[in-house]
Amino acid sequence: MLAPSLRSPAPQQQRRRPEQRQRGRLPPMEPGSAGPPGRGLRRGRRRRRLLLAAGLSCTALTLYTCLQELPPLDVGPGRARPPPEVTVLLWWEPFGHRRHMADCQRRFNISGCRPSANRSRYQEAQAVIFHHRDFLLHGLGQLPAGPPQRPPAQRWVWMNFESPSHSPGLRDLAGIFNWTMSYRVDSDIFVPYGYLRARQASPRFSLPRKTKLVAWVISNWNEAHARVRYYHQLRKYVPIDVYGAQGLALEEGSMVRTISQYKFYLAFENSQHTDYITEKLWRNAFKSSAVPIVLGPPRSNYELFIPPNSFIHIDDFPSPRKLAIYLKFLDQNKPLYRRYFAWRDNYDVHMTSFWDEQYCKVCEAVRTAGDQLKIIQNLASWFES
């Protein structure tokens, strides 16, 4: 998506079926705003209202950029009030890795934010973040103990950036959390793996010299995965250089340096779920200036985040053989190949900064949410939908 300005938390909502989601959709590139927590309209209605409102001054494609880049109002000298400070407590640092907490003001222009992993601040924290993978490791018994278990108005935030296929234990978490934070658009706090943002005054995009055809970097090789099965079929018709645990070593250990030599990159997700579009697209392909060949959610889902002519979906072709024929055709047709980079004249690629960006966005969510509270009773059914 285009650069995310922070969404206010919104209630969990049921997803529409893919064929419903694609009607009338242009790819909104930057996360925008939604209402405060509480019962609300269905997600589809909320998105339509957001797009219609934005249409007054922005196209759907640049909606989020417009929302983020509006200048602050000039309230005159002596009248501006600094926002109240917000303390966000990280109950477990992701995967047990200790790290320095971000300066939200300096990095993301979010003032008055105090992220911390110091549990002595529990009673003063307006929000507490629980990382799902670490929750599985420590269990329910390691949640904050009372009395009181949860200070009034404190939000508990469930944070997860794995797909449902790799997120066990969800059905044990009903009625515990107030907000969700994930890559899903309908999360209370939406944080994609990456997004597009309006290109600033900078040198024009220059396509690196390409000397090779197709690359794939994979660390978790599983013959049962759809991506490995498809690879075995595709490589019968077109050469594919594989890097990682099952293949070649990256040049000087650099993903971007290696992949930038290739015209195409297999941005194959390890599982196929709504909105699950990871660094395989944003960093491995886009940052390396390779055309992504994607295997993940349907094309219509990708087009919510990126222009339709910026990628190739395996579903565009009836078979791997047909896809291979098209890749070889593009290899010999430079003008058509370069069309896959036309969007670069208008957008830059931003990779989300894990985990600093998440912590700072929770601060802003707390500030914009108001006093309404909710409890998520259907975490598993929502996330697995």
Q: Give the highest mean pLDDT range of 40-54, 133-147, 216-230.
A: 216-230
For 280, the 3-state DSSP assignment is: helix
pLDDT at 152: 85
Same fold, 86-196+352-383 and 212-345: yes
pLDDT at 21: 40
DSSP collapsed to 3 states, 314-379: HHHCCCHHHHHHHHHHHHCCHHHHHHHHHHHHCEEEEECCCCHHHHHHHHHHHHHHCCCCCCCCCH
The fold for domain 86-196+352-383 equals Rossmann fold (3.40.50)
Q: Which helix H or strand E contains 307, and what residues bound it?
A: none
The mean of the pLDDT values for the chain is: 83
Closest C-alpha to 188, from 159, 149, 162 = 159
Domain boundaries, the chain: 18-71, 86-196+352-383, 212-345
Task: Say yes or no to pLDDT of 336 above 80.
Answer: yes
Beta carbons within 10 angstroms of residue 262's beta carbon: 23
Residues noted as catalytic: 162
Beta carbons within 10 angstroms of residue 263's beta carbon: 19
Least confident range of 99-108, 199-208, 262-271, 290-299:
199-208
pLDDT at 18: 40
Beta carbons within 10 angstroms of residue 129's beta carbon: 26
Residues of the chain with pLDDT > 70, as a percent, come to 79
Residues of the chain with pLDDT > 90, as a percent, come to 68
- Banded model confidence at residue 120, pLDDT cuts 50, 70, 90: very high
* Residues 144-193 pLDDT 10s: 987 767 888 999 999 999 999 999 999 999 999 999 999 999 999 999 99
pLDDT at 25: 38
**CA distance readout (Å), 103 to 43, 285, 336:** 33, 29, 44
**CA distance readout (Å), 171 to 39, 41, 273, 379:** 22, 25, 18, 7
pLDDT at 78: 56
Calpha distance 11→340 (Å, rounded): 37
- What global pTM score does this model have? 0.80
Closest C-alpha to 162, from 136, 183, 140 = 183
pLDDT at 170: 96
Task: Say yes or no to pLDDT of 82 above 90.
Answer: no
pLDDT at 98: 86
Instruction: Decide which of 279 and 34 is more confident.
Output: 279
The domain 212-345 belongs to what CATH superfamily?
Glycosyl transferase family 10, C-terminal domain (3.40.50.11660)
